[in-house]
Amino acid sequence: MKIYTRTGDAGETGLLDGRRVSKAAPRVDAYGEVDELNACLGLVLSTDLQPDLVEILTRAQRQLFSLGAELADPAGNLTQKKASVDSGETSALEEAIDSLESELQPLTRFILPGGHPAAAAAHLARAVCRRAERRMAGLGEGQVSAEALAYVNRLSDLLFVMARALNARHGVTEQEW
């Protein structure tokens, strides 16, 4: 099977329900942002992370594939059968946040993104995650599950805390604003 189909050459793509839509459609934009976020997590993973962080981010990457499928399936056919983000995944993110926060000094000021390369990559992923969340919210009420929105919101929190933990683990002082 060839990777190219030529079906998108005119600026359209297919949703999972069979409809053809513009590649600039808000729904396509939303799942494109989720795809970019997933690539950013891959970048963070390429920075030689500790096993606990690899496990957290790999799980998140799998969930982002499910989320992308949910967004590409406005009729909900696939998500009812296989791919959807559930409250257990959001709870797992909260547990990871709590664990990582226990390694950190309390935050008293805003900090500038950066520091160790792994932390800087996590900060970039956080910013992309927030953009994906805005695109998802922009689809309107009932177009994205409440759990999917909560998951992405919590993932951005995790990425912020993870960036801080990575700086701390590497002995890098955060720069305050």
Q: Which of 176, 175, 44 is nearest to 120 (CA)?
A: 44
On the question of pLDDT at 79 being above 60, the answer is no
User: Position of tokens 């009729």?
Assistant: 75
In a domain, 177, yes or no: no
Q: Which long-range contacts (CB under 8 A, 24 or more apart) does 127-135 make?
A: 128/33, 128/36, 128/37, 128/40, 129/37, 129/40, 129/155, 129/156, 129/159, 130/156, 131/33, 132/30, 132/33, 132/34, 132/36, 132/37, 135/26, 135/29, 135/30, 135/33
User: Position of tokens 């919210």?
Assistant: 137
Separation of alpha carbons 21 and 19, rounded Å: 6
In a domain, 80, yes or no: yes
Tally of domains within the chain: 1
In a domain, 152, yes or no: yes
Q: Give the domain extent around 83.
A: 25-102+111-169
Quick check: 31 and 37 in contact, CB under 8 A?
no
In a domain, 90, yes or no: yes
- Please report the pLDDT score of residue 56 as a whole number: 98
Q: One-letter amino acid identity for 121?
A: A
Looking at residue 119, which CATH number applies to its domain? 1.20.1200.10
Quick check: 161 and 95 in contact, CB under 8 A?
no
pLDDT tens per residue across span 1-58: 888 889 889 999 989 888 999 999 999 999 999 999 999 999 999 998 999 999 999 9
In a domain, 33, yes or no: yes
pLDDT tens per residue across span 103-161: 999 999 999 999 999 999 999 999 999 999 999 999 988 899 999 999 999 999 999 99
pLDDT tens per residue across span 42-77: 999 999 899 999 999 999 999 999 999 999 998 877
Burial class (CB in 10 A: 0-12, 13-18, 19+), 98: exposed
In a domain, 174, yes or no: no
